[in-house]
Copies of this chain bind each other. A is one copy, B any other.
Amino acid sequence: MAMLINGQPGEQVSALDRGLAYGDGIYRTIEIRAGQPRLWTWQYRRLVADARRLKLPVPDAALLLDEIGQLAGGLEQGVAKIVLTRGVGARGYAMPADVRPTRMVSVTAWAGYPPERARDGVHVRWCDTRLACQPLLAGIKHLNRLENVLARSEWSDPDIHEGLMLDTRGLLVEATMSNVYLVTGQQIITPKLDQSGVQGMLRDWLFAHAPQLGYPLVEAEILPAQLQAADAVFLSNSLIGLWPVASIDGQSLPHAHPCCAQLQALLAAEN
């Protein structure tokens, strides 16, 4: 693990940082291949969008790329993480008049997930933990992640690879660390994220690329029963790529649909 905090080597931050006090910040997790961040344009675009919604100043792309490059140089495969917070603040929720954000960039070596998950699919479960409906924070990859922590604490079986989550209305939102897609015929649907959930950058990428393969991708309100009825279900995040879902709570799903494999091939060709 190597880390730069506001450009300086180090691994410690002030205990008064608002990122710690209130979760007042955002982050991104980025795959590193051959010393470079993958799908950087998509990652940075989402970082900027999230920062604007929380009125956080966002560093230049060139600065972040340079810092990732310093840490990842020569690394064949790894993970970068960018955390941006509203910096050190006085006591109280009010945003400081003069915000000096804290920028943490770290890179770790990492060999990736077992490749059979992308090929044969993963086994998932339904979580009991539901996501609250909060339009002001929905979609943002912010540092208030207790709901995901509680959901992920529901199981410890290593053969369960992800947990699906509903919102408090009973609609599908996401899995604990990934977005969810249902394939029906030639169409893909994915939950609207206007009430809760995280808009992953691969979700943006899929909106741009799935139609090119003949699969229009549309947002929808999705009930749990629709997953068993779909032709295929798959998950996305920046580190897993795309994982077909082989079973939910032990019930097998069809996952021979060509859609996911075609999208995986297209994604593998990206930088």
- The chain A residues found within 8 Å of chain B, CB to CB, are 1, 3, 5, 10-24, 27, 29, 54-55, 79, 81, 83, 85, 91-95, 104, 106, 108, 129-130, 132-134, 136-137, 142-153, 156, 168, 176-177, 196
| Copies of this chain, whole number | 2
The answer to whether A132 touches B129, judged by C-beta atoms less than 8 angstroms apart, is no
Nearest-CB residue, chain B, relative to A196: B132
Chain B neighbourhood of A132, CB < 8 A = 132-134, 137, 196
The answer to whether A22 touches B149, judged by C-beta atoms less than 8 angstroms apart, is yes
The answer to whether B5 touches A15, judged by C-beta atoms less than 8 angstroms apart, is yes
The answer to whether A24 touches B146, judged by C-beta atoms less than 8 angstroms apart, is yes
Chain B neighbourhood of A5, CB < 8 A = 15
Nearest-CB residue, chain B, relative to A22: B145
By Cβ-Cβ distance, the 6 closest A-B pairs, closest first, are: A23-B23, A132-B132, A132-B134, A144-B144, A93-B152, A22-B145
The answer to whether B146 touches A22, judged by C-beta atoms less than 8 angstroms apart, is yes
Taking a contact as CB atoms closer than 8 A, the residue among B12, B23, B79 that contacts A12 in the complex is: B12
Separation of A150 and B53 alpha carbons in the complex (Å)? 10
Chain B neighbourhood of A17, CB < 8 A = 20
Separation of A193 and B13 alpha carbons in the complex (Å)? 33
Taking a contact as CB atoms closer than 8 A, the residue among B14, B18, B176 that contacts A11 in the complex is: B14
Question: Given A94-B152, A133-B168, A3 and B23 touching (CB < 8 A)?
Answer: no
The answer to whether A15 touches B104, judged by C-beta atoms less than 8 angstroms apart, is yes
Taking a contact as CB atoms closer than 8 A, the residue among B134, B149, B168 that contacts A24 in the complex is: B149
Chain B neighbourhood of A23, CB < 8 A = 22-23, 143-146
The answer to whether A20 touches B94, judged by C-beta atoms less than 8 angstroms apart, is no
Question: Given A15-B3, A153-B95, A136 and B147 touching (CB < 8 A)?
Answer: yes
